[in-house]
Amino acid sequence: MHSPMKVVQCWDDAVEEDIRLTDILRKHGAKATFNLNPGLHGPERSGPYNEKWKKAIRRLARGELVSVYDGFTIANHSDTHPWPTRIDLDDWRQEVKDGRKKLQDWFQQPVSGFAYPFGDYDDATAAVVADAGHVYGRTVGKQTPCLPAERPEACHPDCHFLDDDFWALYERAKASGCGAFYFWGHSFELYTEDDWTAFDAQMGRIAADKDAVWAEVYELFA
């Protein structure tokens, strides 16, 4: 007898596709954490054209954030998304502090999670994240099972939501008895209608799994 596996997920950058994504998550009763850069949200949706994705990747407008993420958990992704290890450590400390403070003010909820911009970190930048009051810092590494996290301030999720081995890792995490499966992504990576249909089915399959339960990322580190 063991308890169901906790399935946790987080999404970076607060882009406009999160509106459709959150609708799908709500439909499946899924919990999720969204990693935001408060310094990058203006009065209108905005963002540059991206060559790789062949579309503009636009951040949500400041005024719509609270309603889009209603019912979900907010985490810090730094104030303006710099490369953590490429800026002065004092500037990094300010980025981390400002991001957390603004998000707590805007959303009126405690912000205890962190995700590294570009997945970039080292010992010094990770120590800053922990010192600022975050219980974990997520990388873009890959580790199954994701628990136990050797270093919560630089923890690796199991995988990205589009990884080919997503379901193999999901089953491996379940078999390991570690108690959790953690995936991440960006909603702008859902591009075609087929992509969205597949994502809906992916979430539906987890929701229907009697041996799994949706959970919050921060619960893994409580």
Instruction: Determine if 95 is a binding residue for Zn ion (CB under 5 A).
Output: no
Query: Binders of Zn ion among 13-42, rule CB under 5 A?
Result: 13
Q: Shortest approach of Zn ion to residue 173 CB, angstroms?
A: 24
Binding-site size, Zn ion (CB under 5 A): 2
| Contact range with Zn ion by CB under 5 A, out of 8-16, 68-76, 129-137, 211-219 | 8-16
- Per residue, what are the HEC states of 90-114? HHHHHHHHHHHHHHHHHHCCCCCEE
| Contact range with Zn ion by CB under 5 A, out of 10-18, 63-71, 99-107, 147-155 | 10-18
Instruction: Determine if 12 is a binding residue for Zn ion (CB under 5 A).
Output: yes
Host H or E run for residue 201: helix 193-207
CA distance 10 to 183: 7
Give CA separation, 219 vs 31, 198, 222, in Å.
11, 28, 5
- In the block, which residue shows the tokens 């998304």? 81
Residue 155 is given by DSSP the state: B
Instruction: Determine if 79 is a binding residue for Zn ion (CB under 5 A).
Output: no
Cβ-based nearer residue to Zn ion, 13 or 216? 13
Tell me how crowded residue 222 is: count the other CB atoms within 10 A of its CB: 8
Cβ-based nearer residue to Zn ion, 6 or 77? 77
| Contact range with Zn ion by CB under 5 A, out of 5-13, 15-23, 147-155, 212-220 | 5-13
Contact positions vs Zn ion (CB under 5 A)? 12-13
